[in-house]
Each structure stands twice: as structure tokens, then as C-alpha cells.
Amino acid sequence: MKKLLLIVMVLVVFFIFHYGCKEDSKPALEESISYTKLSESDILNNYDEDIKRSLRKLIATGKCLKCTFTGTNLSGKDLKEKILTSSNLAAANLASSNLEEADLYLADL
């Protein structure tokens, strides 16, 4: 009887550790946050012509070297792998934007 009780206890402990301690897989951060693609509708009328030209170039080519984005609202935008080398992003709203592998070398943030 004692052996049976011991075997049952060992099996219960085994199952608790084996199945009870498994961590649920969590979705990757990129999957849990939705980003919106940069589009022409992001070019607001109150932006100056230099900023509008820079945004159009970034939308068309995915890169904009030495461009001006000062004061633009890029929150929640998908800027993944965009090349913004030496660009001026001072006072730009980049909150919740996807900057994964974006090239911000020498960019003014």
C-alpha cells in the first residue's frame, strides 16, 4: 500500500512539473502591435514643401538621405528597413512606430 501511494505521489509531482510549469508561447511584439503603412494621406497640408517632398520620396523609394521630417506625425507607422541616413527627425512623433532595422545613422533625433 505504501509503495502504491509513493508511486502515485511521484506521478502526480511529475505531471505537475511537466505540464504545470510550461510557459504559454506569447506572440512576438511585432504581431501584437499593428503598424500602418506610410501613405500619401500622411502628407498633411500644413507641412512645408520640403517635408512633403521628403515624405513622397520615402513612400516611393523606401529611403530618404538627408531629408527633413521635422515635426511630422509618424506615430504607429511601419518604418521597418527604411533608410533615413542623416535625416532630420527633430520633434517628429515616432511613438509606437516600427523602427526595426531602420537606418538612422547620423539622423537628428
Which pLDDT tens digits describe the chain residue by residue (109 residues)? 888 888 888 888 887 877 776 666 666 655 667 899 999 999 999 999 999 999 999 999 999 999 999 999 999 999 999 999 999 999 999 999 999 999 999 999 8
Looking at the DSSP assignment, which residues form a beta bridge with residue 36? 77
Residue 59: the pLDDT is 95
Nearest partner of 77 among 65, 88, 93, judged by Cα? 93
Q: Does residue 52 contact residue 70 with C-beta atoms inside 8 Å?
A: no
Residue 15: the pLDDT is 79
Residue 25: the pLDDT is 64
Residue 4: the pLDDT is 85
